[in-house]
């Protein structure tokens, strides 16, 4: 029997529960520290829970945010949001979702990002989100595992979804001013407005696929030995991550434009990063080999 509760409330409950599930698993994986939680209210309507983990055995810094906010969009920004969705007119909005970024200490453990969200604007509603992996020293088997886990979740809802959303991810997480991808991709989707119950089922499946996609990679790489060379390379690549989030990321722009909580919005930035003038990896080094991964590829071929 279909739940008669409005979709917006069921989506909000799912994202809240997913935050709990992911945070508990990440604390267990780290084994040394726990998340700090800040509950906050948004001026204009709604609020959220920001959970941050720092200085752990695995995670140098990470955050898992949940929010449910509502209000009226600034007029200029409202004109830009939801243009791809019929009836997405007006300035009143509701948005709920979960967003996470994890920056591990060990350069052999990848940074990871995921975001799953539901938005309403005027008479329109849609889902968006995705998950992507940003290794510093990539291992192909890890990249394949991450993509295959997401593909399996997508395939339950149609064989066409993973190729479509994988390509969308490659396009979205492309650092245009660097002519390189942010990492090795994953899936990205937005403006899923048709058949809302079907789309919600899809979002639940891919959201619950995050932990099995990422946790096994942590366990494989967390004890890899590294030195100052690997650490410096990690910081250079983190600089690229910061560039993307500050210049292109839709979530960052949406949060700032809707007067969200700045500390929560910028939680995605790494604790340390480096910008080396005209950096180029030395040919024949592990860093040069890693650099070859930062281009769109078919990882499952």
Catalytic residue list: 113
Cβ proximity of 142 and 106 under 8 Å:
no
User: Could you give the residue ranges of the DSSP H alpha helices within 54-209?
Assistant: 75-78, 140-155, 161-172, 196-208
Cα separation of 253 and 255, whole Å? 6
First to last CA, the chain: 40
Cα separation of 102 and 97, whole Å? 17
286 CA to centre of own chain: 26
Neighbouring residues of 69: CB distance < 8 A, sequence distance ≥ 6:
42, 44, 45, 46, 47, 48, 94, 95, 96, 258, 260
């Amino acid at each position: 029997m279909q739940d008669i509760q409005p979709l917006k409330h069921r989506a909000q409950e799912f994202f809240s529960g997913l935050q709990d599930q992911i945070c508990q698993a990440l604390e267990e994986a780290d084994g040394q520290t726990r998340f700090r939680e800040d509950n906050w209210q948004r001026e204009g309507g709604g609020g959220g829970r920001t959970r941050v983990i720092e200085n752990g055995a695995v995670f140098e810094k990470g955050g898992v945010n949940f929010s449910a906010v509502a209000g009226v969009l600034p007029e200029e920004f409202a004109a830009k949001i939801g243009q791809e969705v019929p009836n997405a007119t007006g300035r009143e909005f509701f948005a709920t979702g979960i967003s996470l970024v994890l920056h591990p200490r060990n350069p052999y453990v990848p940074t990871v990002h995921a975001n799953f969200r539901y938005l309403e604007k005027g008479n329109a509603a849609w889902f968006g989100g995705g998950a992507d992996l940003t290794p510093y020293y990539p291992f192909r088997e890890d990249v394949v595992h991450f993509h295959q886990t997401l593909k399996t979740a997508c395939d339950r809802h149609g064989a066409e979804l993973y190729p479509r959303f994988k390509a969308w991810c490659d396009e979205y997480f492309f650092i245009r001013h660097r002519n390189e991808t942010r990492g090795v991709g994953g899936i990205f989707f937005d403006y899923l407005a048709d058949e809302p119950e079907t789309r919600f089922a899809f979002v639940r499946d891919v959201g619950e696929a995050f932990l099995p996609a990422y946790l096994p990679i942590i366990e494989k790489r967390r004890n890899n030995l590294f030195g100052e060379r690997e650490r410096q390379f990690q910081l250079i690549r983190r600089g690229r991550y910061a560039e993307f989030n500050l210049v292109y990321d839709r979530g960052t722009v949406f949060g700032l434009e809707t007067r969200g909580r700045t500390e929560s919005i910028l939680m995605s930035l790494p604790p340390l990063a480096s910008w080396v003038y005209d950096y180029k990896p030395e040919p024949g080094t592990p860093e040069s080999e890693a650099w070859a991964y930062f281009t769109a590829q078919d990882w499952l071929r």
